[in-house]
Structure 1
Amino acid sequence: MTPADIPRLHELSVSVSWPHRADDWAMAIGLGHGWVARDQIGRIFGSAMWFPFSQNVASIGMVITSPRLQDQGAGRWLMRRVLDETHGRARVLNATKEAYRLYVSLGFQTLARVAQMNGIVTDCPEYPLGARAMQPADRAQILQLDTDAMGVARPEVMAAVLAVSEGLVIERAGRITGFSLMRHFGRGRVIGPIVAENEADAMALCGPFIAAHRGEFLRVDTREPQGVFFDFLEAAGIVDFDSVQRMSLERLPDPVGAARTFGLVNQALG
């Protein structure tokens, strides 16, 4: 996979109703490694990528096969190449309903449901105050907080996301305890990652973004089950649209500290 493939990759993702723009594909290719499957006249009918988080962990994503070839082994062919390249790392992915059986057959184990929450913002429910705008001096603490919540450092991913995002942080006693980033993605904007110590802080980190974008399309991918944060998003019009299953092939590193990830960068990048 190379940047020259982006126009045809975009066509492929549109064909399966994925919202990714050409710019979203460009970010993915800049951060990861991938394979494409072509037919005899050069059309791309399959893709698969992996993203190095560290020497020990990789995230797999952007796995797409043309509907007419989903039952003919194209997805397995692509996944075998990705698994060969990532041998020796712990592998994690978010499985769509269409690909779930393939991943189970390859040995992946289900960890948690990820809700794709999206929609046009219709309201901004009350939310706790306390978040402030991100400043350049916050960067080191944000990177460490993301590492602690994920259990693994992903500096290249975070650098790319920070470069194109607005950010909010919660600071207590001179220490950053939570942050959220928002950027253009798909049909509108995505809020993610969101890292916080509790649901109230997660709402405080999303509320100002939601209030500023009433009438616009926002998305949050969250592993949080039904609860106050989930209900807050739905009350704003960001509803439970679809879901994927977080899966891993090996044991993943455990998070460190009190903060946890309330919102993903996206499904490919975790």
Structure 2
Amino acid sequence: MDANGRNVRVTLQPTPTMQLESYQVFAAPMTVEDLPKLHELSIGVGWPHRPEDWELAISLGEGIVARDEIGRVVGSAMWFPLGTDFAAIGMVITSPRLQELGAGNWLMGHILDRVGARGKVLNATRAAYRLYISLGFMPLSPVHQHNGIVGEVPASPRHARPLRPEDAAAIHSLDTAAMGAARPALIDRLLQLSTGTVLERDGRVTGFALCRKFGRGHVVGPVVAETEEDAIALVAPHAEALSGQFLRMDTRQPEGPLRDFLIAAGIRHHDTVTRMGLGPVPQVQGPAQTMALVNQAFG
């Protein structure tokens, strides 16, 4: 922060090694061979990601791992393209002790160096918020994580229908407009992994929701809709299909009908993180907006 109280980005000079107390860590490109150790790393900080969730992230983005002198993975960071002008940053993990020693700052230096001039967005946990502020990221909006065992799903509109293969082009278009950037590889993979619902008006698809296995159970996201009532109609069939199972949804919506619906169905508020940006960030381009994220790493 400068003398006028404005946030100023700290320019990092990433180095291939970093001294952490009595040992060194080494930066290396993330590969699928790192999956078992990355899974151990995320378990160690209480993240729910399965090996399959890590595999999806590695297939869609670029990452860095920090390895110690005996080959253990002690840190990670990734970025994912959002069109040609933007990037989402996520899967930034270090133990609290290493964070205190500057490992998170060092990993972010490598990621920011690779992302270059693209506009950058991320979702910051409370523990990492000060680090991102020090790097020049600005808070944009809260993101509310809801999860829980699905109970009785409250009465709600039932005008969504199951997704069909021919809906794929419309889903790509809606997601691009709602996100403000295209992410075709991600949406194609999600369509392979997910069940879906769509809203159709006058022969035109106006909203969709995808649900897939993730973490402790399933996650609904992305959800793209023009209103919260439409989002509820899209989410309700997934919640009913998963009665008695664990379901998660991450949303930027404030308190209102959508979050009230989730809570009534047993999908309660669990945590809040902060969406942050550095440089230009994607802007919504259509009447539909993102009501639920793919997850916190992808946005």
Q: How many residues align?
A: 270
1:123 Cα offset (Å): 1.4
Q: Which residue of 2 aligns with 1:32?
A: 61
Match of 2:295 among 224, 248, 266: 266
Residue in structure 1 matched with residue 128 of structure 2 by the alignment: 99
Does residue 139 of the first structure (1) align with residue 139 of the second (2)?
no
TM-score by length of 2: 0.89
| Cα distance, 1:55 vs structure 2 | 1.3
Matched position secondary structure for 1:46? strand
Give the SS at the match of 1:210: helix
State the Cα distance separating 1:214 from its structure 2 match.
Answer: 1.1
Identify the residue that residue 186 of structure 2 maps to in structure 1: 157
TM-fit CA distance, 1:212: 1.3
Q: Which runs of 5+ in 1 are unaligned?
A: none
The one-letter code matched in structure 2 to 1:251 is P
* Residue 256 of structure 1: how far off its partner (Å): 1.3
What per-residue deviation string (whole Å, max 9, x for no partner) do you get for residues 105-134 of structure 1? 000000000001000012100111110000
Q: Which of 70, 85, 89 is 1:41 aligned to? A: 70
Residue number among 255, 266, 275 corresponding to 1:246 in the alignment: 275
Q: CA deviation at 1:252?
A: 1.4
- Secondary structure of the 2:100 match is coil
**In 2, distance between residues paired with 1:168 and 1:34?**
32
Structure whose CA Rg is larger: 2
Superposed CA deviations along residues 137-169 of structure 1, whole A, max 9, x for unmatched, are 110011000000011111011111111000000
Aligned-pair CA distance for 1:251:
2.0
The offset of 1:54, in angstroms, is 1.4
Q: How far apart, in 1, do the equivalents of 2:89 and 2:36 lie?
A: 21
RMSD: 0.6
- Which segments of structure 1 move beyond 4 Å, counting only runs of 4 or more? none
Residue 184 of structure 1 deviates from its aligned partner by 0.1
- Measured against aligned partners, the alpha-carbon deviations of 1:2-36 in whole angstroms (never above 9, x if no partner) come to 00000000000000000000000000000000000
Structure-1 separation of matches of 2:97 and 2:72: 13
In 2: Cα distance, 1:41 partner to 1:104 partner? 33
Q: What does 1:222-233 correspond to in 2, within 5 Å? A: 222-233=251-262
- How far apart, in 1, do the equivalents of 2:88 and 2:242 lie? 31
- Residue identity in the other structure for 1:120: I
Partner of 1:42, secondary structure, is coil
Q: Residue deviations 1:196-240, cap 9 Å, x none?
A: 000110000010111111110000000000001010000001011
* Partner AA of 1:126 in structure 2: A
Identify the match of residue 148 of structure 1 among 172, 177, 180: 177
TM-score, with length taken from structure 1: 0.99
CA distance in 2, matches of 1:15, 1:125: 36
Distance 2:167 2:84 in 1: 26
Residue type at the aligned position of 1:72: L
The separation in 2 between residues aligned to 1:161 and 1:76, in whole angstroms, is 31
Is 1:88 matched up with 2:114? no
Identical aligned residues as a percent: 57
In structure 1, the partner of 2:150 is 121
Deviations, residues 52-95 of structure 1 (Å, cap 9, x unaligned): 11111100000000222110010000000000001110000000
Alignment pair present for 1:186 and 2:215: yes
State the secondary structure of the residue aligned to 2:140. Answer: strand
For 1:203, the equivalent position in structure 2 comes to 232
Aligned pair partner of 2:199 in 170, 182, 197: 170
1:15 aligns with 2:44: yes
